[in-house]
Structure 1
Amino acid sequence: MSIQLDFRTLSLTLMLFSLVFGLGMFAYSREHPKFSGIKTIGTGYFLIGGGGVLLGLRHFIHDFASIVLANIAIVIGVVLIYRGLFKFIGISLRFERWLSPILVVLLAAVMYFYTFHTPDVNLRIQAFSIVFAAACFIGASGLLQHREIHNRMVARMLIAMFLLVGAFFIFRFIWSFYEIPPDDFMNAGFLSALAIIAGEFLVILSSFCTIWMSSDELQDELSDIARIDPLTGIYNRRAFDECCDIEFSRALRSGTTFAIIMCDLDHFKKINDQHGHHIGDEVLRRFAAILQDRIRQHDVVARFGGEEFVLLLPNNNTEQGLQVAEQIRATTEATQITLNDDISVTLSASFGVAHYCAGDSDWSAVLHRADNALYAAKKQGRNRVVDLTTAHQGLHTDLMPREQT
């Protein structure tokens, strides 16, 4: 049995596509409420599907519903699709706020006039085509003006989609001046059939791109969770290891050097014992903020574990690392944290500094030396900066058992 792709069949397929993808958008939005605009896109699909149903019921229902309401619903659906996309991405177009309603009102007036006062199928086709094309070009314009879309491939696909569909309806508008005017829209010809297929294309591709963008954001969020320390908001040890791998490879290729600073809050266990872990957590957050404020943009700071933190300083030698560590030490010593109006905590920290040497087989060798230097700083009385390559304490470089901090 063959399927006749007439207007009624195409209208029903448009309704089915729109209903399925609209329900999918609402279900996805319910599962991921953090994404704004997806419900708006789903509502647009429902309106396009509803317009398709009304078009397919031509001659079975009143002309106002099958012509005026049907075409208005489809155009409003397109408006809601690009408004949802704009909201999802974070685009704001001032002219769109007033232009889209004007287009809808003008279309409604033209459709009503050329349906009930001066019936003219061809003029209705021309009016719908130019308004639909304008809506598509508004969508493309917003995406073209927004240069910070995370996935440029998705952005190009959406722009191409709006431009292609808009260009098709412009062609349909121009072609309508050269073809014989139809006496009934249900027999309006091949281009009108393609117009319904273009609506299906718009629904399918826009939903695909929306899910693609949201999946990218979820993936980035999971990546951040895996790399960011949840308490302090800075990198964790895993992320620090990745950064060191990259910096060590750069040092091998170009002969540059880098410094690593390990630091440890002094007597942190006493703070936890006296004031509770919630105060200790706030102290860790404040100290992490101090570290972030004292480094360059391309430096890396991470929480190594407990009250230990580590910094990676690219293109720095030990002398420069010592200067940075001393600045942080002085800032930390001068910091007094007041919490709950009755708890005052004075901080201090110990620092160990080391830098990459040409003979190092791995960056962990630098970290090992920085860790030994940190132990030396704590052994000497804390609240100081130590570099074993320049210190003269005669300490061994092997790690010794850590004393309680």
Structure 2
Amino acid sequence: MLSDLLVNVSILMTFIFVWHQLFRKSPLKLHSPLWIKLSDGILAGLLGIILMHYSIATNDITILDLRHVPVAIVAFFGGIVPSLIAAGVISIGRYMIDINFSSHVALFMMFFIGLGAGILSKYLTLGVWKKWTVILLYTQLIFSIALYIVSPIYSNVLYAAFLHVICTVVGGMLAFYFTLYIRKSSELFFKYREFSRIDYLTGLYNVRTFYHYYDECLKNARDNEVPCILVMMDIDHFKKINDTHGHKAGDEILKQLADIFKDNLGNEATISRNGGEEFSIIYCGKKIDQVIDITENLRKKVEHHPFKLNKTDHIQLTISIGIAQYDREMNSDDALYQEADNALYRAKEQGRNHTVVAEKIPVS
């Protein structure tokens, strides 16, 4: 009997791992979309059915297992909807085994487990482990009451009931710990992956991601003759701003400038902070005259935008812009970058707050 219940725990852990791999990008939460709650509820129900098929028989009509644990898990993370769906799927699976008094009791048992666990998850304001313990013990209580109802002589199944409580607590705690562990691991994975791509201060792409999209755009231009345009931008006199108002104020200005870029450049632009006060935009597939218009409008918006230093003070600033487009005469991957950077340098030489286009622009 003990070995059979240990099999339940093993199945529980294995299924949770596979389950998490399927939904690692959209983990179940109280405010998840309905389709995620439906999917997780169905999967939890299927797990409950599998656990029933590896159960331990205590008499001719009663079976014990850990089917209530996956219901408790989806209730904890997703609330009432997935737990009731899981309970319904498990009830259908129980009727597929046989139809008798025990299966009728199991129907009501799963309903009260699903409903109660979902309500407890939504309204309990305890810590994570305390809340889980309450939900797990509640589901076990309902299960034990159902076992008492279906057992002709309850004393005959006391040993099984005792083992079931032990395995529920041990298996439930292990399953929950494992669930938290793999959810946290995935959360950290996606977080660190995002950090490796995003500039921590501005929320724009960092220089590493810039080069990824830069190489991708160049390849597309060479292979498919799609226009690849690079825009380099630099804040005018930014060192003076830092020296006068401090680096904290400078950081705030960088964040506000990044917000202007995001609000005005749209999804077609790949915007990066390449370091310090230097930014870049990659356009893949856009015509040069369109890019010139967009960047000129952007330069004017920056020029007239009041940048806040604190609650009362603000300053005006300008940016210089250099634009270059890839052509087949460029003999290296760095050539486009160098052209745009040279155009930016000429914009600075012309007195700043200018947009300069590289001289070598392909004739369309």
| TM-score of Structure 1 vs Structure 2, range by shorter chain | 0.5 to 0.7
- Residue in structure 1 matching 2:74, options 56, 79, 82: 82
TM-superposed deviation, 1:361 = 3.9
Partner of 1:278: 248
Structure 2 CA distance for aligned equivalents of residues 381 and 14 of structure 1: 76
TM-superposed deviation, 1:84 = 3.3
- Residue in structure 1 matching 2:106, options 128, 132, 150: 128
Between the two proteins, the alignment pairs up a number of residues equal to 272
- Residue in structure 1 matching 2:192, options 222, 225, 232: 222
Partner of 2:4: 10
| Partners of 1:75 and 1:135 within 8 A in 2 | no
Higher-Rg member (1/2):
1
Instruction: Decide whether aligned partners of structure 1 residues 242 and 134 sit closer, same or farther in structure 2, where only a CA change above 3 A counts.
Output: farther
Structure 2 CA distance for aligned equivalents of residues 276 and 8 of structure 1: 68
Instruction: Decide whether aligned partners of structure 1 residues 81 and 364 sit closer, same or farther in structure 2, where only a CA change above 3 A counts.
Output: same
Provide TM-score, normalisation by structure 1: 0.54
Q: Which amino acid aligns with 1:82?
A: V
Instruction: Decide whether aligned partners of structure 1 residues 363 and 321 sit closer, same or farther in structure 2, where only a CA change above 3 A counts.
Output: farther
Instruction: Decide whether aligned partners of structure 1 residues 206 and 247 sit closer, same or farther in structure 2, where only a CA change above 3 A counts.
Output: farther
Partner of 2:354: 384
1:238 aligns with 2:208: yes
Partner-residue secondary structure (3-state), 1:294: helix
Q: Which amino acid aligns with 2:228?
A: F
- Residue in structure 2 matching 1:321, options 274, 284, 291: 291
Structure 1 CA distance for aligned equivalents of residues 210 and 155 of structure 2: 65
| Partners of 1:232 and 1:288 within 8 A in 2 | yes
Structure 2 CA distance for aligned equivalents of residues 36 and 287 of structure 1: 34
TM-superposed deviation, 1:342 = 3.8
Q: Which amino acid aligns with 2:200?
A: P
Identical-pair percentage: 27
- Residue in structure 2 matching 1:93, options 65, 75, 81: 81
Partner of 1:257: 227
Structure 1 CA distance for aligned equivalents of residues 87 and 237 of structure 2: 64
| Partners of 1:75 and 1:132 within 8 A in 2 | no
TM-superposed deviation, 1:298 = 2.8
Partner of 2:310: 340
| Partners of 2:28 and 2:77 within 8 A in 1 | no
TM-superposed deviation, 1:317 = 3.6
For structure 1, the 5+ residue unaligned runs are 1-6, 22-33, 38-43, 49-54, 60-66, 105-120, 137-180, 189-194, 392-405
TM-superposed deviation, 1:15 = 8.4
1:146-189 CA-to-partner distances (Å, cap 9, x unmatched) read xxxxxxxxxxxxxxxxxxxxxxxxxxxxxxxxxxx99789999x
| Partners of 2:74 and 2:82 within 8 A in 1 | no
Provide TM-score, normalisation by structure 2: 0.60
Structure 2 CA distance for aligned equivalents of residues 84 and 327 of structure 1: 50
TM-superposed deviation, 1:314 = 1.2
Partner-residue secondary structure (3-state), 2:352: coil
Instruction: Decide whether aligned partners of structure 1 residues 14 and 262 sit closer, same or farther in structure 2, where only a CA change above 3 A counts.
Output: same
